[in-house]
């Protein structure tokens, strides 16, 4: 299964232990194929560096490296303008299309309200966790 995790899913999974952490941990462990683009990885880097998260700078690079290594990097060629209220959300759709994703997982209401784009379903982390066939068993990472 090829899945694009929105930046908000990565941030929640990395910073708030819980259900979303099982989704991000499964991606890092390779229990499904996570997809990411350079633009989304840069966005994640910028978000993790926000002062409100208080993540030590020396801890951010190893996290980004781990995600980069676990994900398949895709290079979007199309520029979309589907989500007008928050144009940055279009980068998630572009990544999904370029990577031939089976699913997009997001906590963002702009994307969730679409329900799907170009035949790619858009799911919340909870729905992904409960509905999609992935080996969710905890393994050492």
pLDDT tens digits for range 99-112: 999 999 999 999 99
The pLDDT value given to residue 137: 66
Read off the pLDDT of each residue in 68-85 and give the average, rounded to a whole number.
88
The pLDDT value given to residue 14: 93
CATH of domain 2-131: 3.40.50.1010
More confident residue, 125 or 87: 125
Cα dist from 53 to 3, 9, 12, 33, 125, whole Å: 26, 15, 11, 27, 21
- The answer on pLDDT for 92 being more than 80 is yes
Read off the pLDDT of each residue in 8-17 and give the average, rounded to a whole number.
94
Read off the pLDDT of each residue in 2-17 and give the average, rounded to a whole number.
96
Helix (H, G, I), strand (E, B) or coil at 120: strand
Helix (H, G, I), strand (E, B) or coil at 45: helix
Say how many residues make up the chain.
141
């Amino acid at each position: 299964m090829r899945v694009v995790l929105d930046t908000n899913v990565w941030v929640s999974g990395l910073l708030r232990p819980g259900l979303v952490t099982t989704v991000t941990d499964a991606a890092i462990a390779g229990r499904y194929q996570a997809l990411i683009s350079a633009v989304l990885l840069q966005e994640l880097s910028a978000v993790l560096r926000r002062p409100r998260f208080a993540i030590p700078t020396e801890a951010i690079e190893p996290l980004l490296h781990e995600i980069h290594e676990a994900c398949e990097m895709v290079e979007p060629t199309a520029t979309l303008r589907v989500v007008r209220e928050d144009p940055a959300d279009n980068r998630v759709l572009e990544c999904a299309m370029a990577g031939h994703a089976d699913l997009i997982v997001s906590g963002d209401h702009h994307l969730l309200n679409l329900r799907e784009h170009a035949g790619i379903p858009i799911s919340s982390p909870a729905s992904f966790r409960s509905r999609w066939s992935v080996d969710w068993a905890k393994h050492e990472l």
